[in-house]
Structure 1
Amino acid sequence: MFSSFRIRSISLAAALLATAGAAQADYLWLSRDGAAAAARVGELDKTPQPAASVTAPRAFLADGKDLPLTVEADRVRIPGAAAGTDLRAVASRVTGENTLTQYQARWGRTETKAVNDLELVPTEPNGNTFKLVWKGNTVAASQVNVDTAEGWRRVLKPAKDGTVTLTTPFPGLYVLEVTARVNGAVTVDGKKYEEVRHTATLSFDVPR
């Protein structure tokens, strides 16, 4: 069994971001099995979306070194991720006529520095308190909704410094997710998108 923590809505101090709508959205999340890792699209407790539904998948370490990957039916397999290291993966998907979603995933909580544009970062190695970072700047979450596979749900409010703290009462896989909207349009490969969303996850295992 596992537990999943999903941060569904936030308010950001940075002017570039606005809170996303309340509707639940798919996200990209990472899991590991020793030196192998996998990225999946969807929600942790549901059947994954086809891996081919996202474009430009990339996996890399904190130093920016790319890792080889293979796109399979329901996952992007990452065979060369050494155990004990934090890992990132990114991809994008057109989720509406004029909407582009940028997926950003992280596995592990040993590093206290953000690498992705939008990332949840532990305030201390392997800690349970996290800050939200947008392009190097710390921003505050306004509300954290907590779901678990066992049906345990909570709504967490941030501390005065904007950080969020969770407890990990169950062993297994945890996924923290946050979605934000960028103010302004963007053009990618000649196509203009009026709305750009960033969906970021942080996943880790709690041992039995």
Structure 2
Amino acid sequence: MMKTMKILTALAATMATIPAVAHEIWVERDASGPARIYLGEPAEAVPEAGDPEFHHLQKPQAIQSDDKPIAFVRRANHIEATVPGSGDVRVRDDSVFAPWKSGEKMQGAIFYARAGRSETAAKLDLELVPAAANADRFTLLFRGKPVPAAKLTVITPDRWQKAFFTDANGGVEIPKLGAGRYIVGASHTEEGPAKLGGQDVASVVHISTLTFVR
């Protein structure tokens, strides 16, 4: 009995160091209104009080081409950002979860999110970029280079999910599966030493989402 308790205690301690890897950051925006930045599970309805992990989302960084200030307001289940203009909105956050132990090495995560598909240039390290403004075909780019055979998760407006894979050139076609907001998620693990949250890590998981409305 004592041995079993020790095993369960050790397992609980190990699980406590693993972040909610199923979680993602995504951004929703309607026309030129404020952007809503969420942390949670995109396929699930966002609780009115916020996802249990929402408190980890503290300082998302807006990636923009100008230096105009952006006002962030914390709401019950999202962060609201007043973004000038009506173009695509991008955010980045490398401090959502503290680095964790993966096997014998430390690993960390950087989250990216984009709302809109009007711009054909990448501004995030990991980003789905449309072939043309408002196109249904995209290329997954990591620091400007296509990522082939990458798994993408597409969530339709009715929360139906399906996995797709990029082709040899990093391209993928997102099928039309109803009107409303789509969320597309992708990830890419970068092996090699880096520093996140003041800690040394052996690899970084880059997690990116794209939302757009049909």
**TM-score class, shorter:** 0.7 to 0.9
Q: Is the 8 A contact 1:37 1:81 kept in 2?
A: no
What CA deviation, in whole Å up to 9, does each residue of 1:82-117 have, x standing for no partner? 33x011011122253433211111111111100001
Decide which of 169, 180, 184 is 1:161's aligned counterpart: 169
Aligned to 2:3: none
Structure scoring higher RCO (CA < 8 A, sep ≥ 6) equals: 1
Correspondence list, 1:1-208, <5 A? 25-33=22-30, 34-46=32-44, 47=46, 48-49=50-51, 50-63=53-66, 65=68, 67-83=70-86, 85-92=87-94, 93-94=96-97, 96-97=100-101, 98-148=106-156, 150=158, 152-206=160-214
CA distance in 2: counterparts of 1:116 and 1:30, whole angstroms: 14
Identity %: 26
Which structure shows the bigger proportion of residues in helix conformation?
2
CA distance in 2: counterparts of 1:59 and 1:90, whole angstroms: 7
Secondary structure of the residue that 2:187 maps to in structure 1? strand
For 2:93, the aligned partner's letter is: A
Bigger-Rg structure (1/2): 2
Q: Is the 8 A contact 2:154 2:182 kept in 1?
A: no
CA distance in 2: counterparts of 1:118 and 1:31, whole angstroms: 18
Residues 81, 74 of structure 1: CA spacing in aligned structure 2 closer, same or farther, 3 A cutoff?
Answer: farther
CA distance in 2: counterparts of 1:79 and 1:111, whole angstroms: 19
Gaps of at least 5 residues in structure 1 are: 1-22
CA distance in 1: counterparts of 2:84 and 2:145, whole angstroms: 28
Q: Is the 8 A contact 1:36 1:82 kept in 2?
A: no
For 1:29, the aligned partner's letter is: W
Task: Give me the CA root mean square deviation.
Answer: 2.5
- The normalised TM-score by structure 1 is 0.76
Residues 64, 125 of structure 1: CA spacing in aligned structure 2 closer, same or farther, 3 A cutoff?
Answer: farther
Secondary structure of the residue that 1:101 maps to in structure 2? strand
Q: CA deviation at 1:181?
A: 1.1
Secondary structure of the residue that 1:195 maps to in structure 2? strand
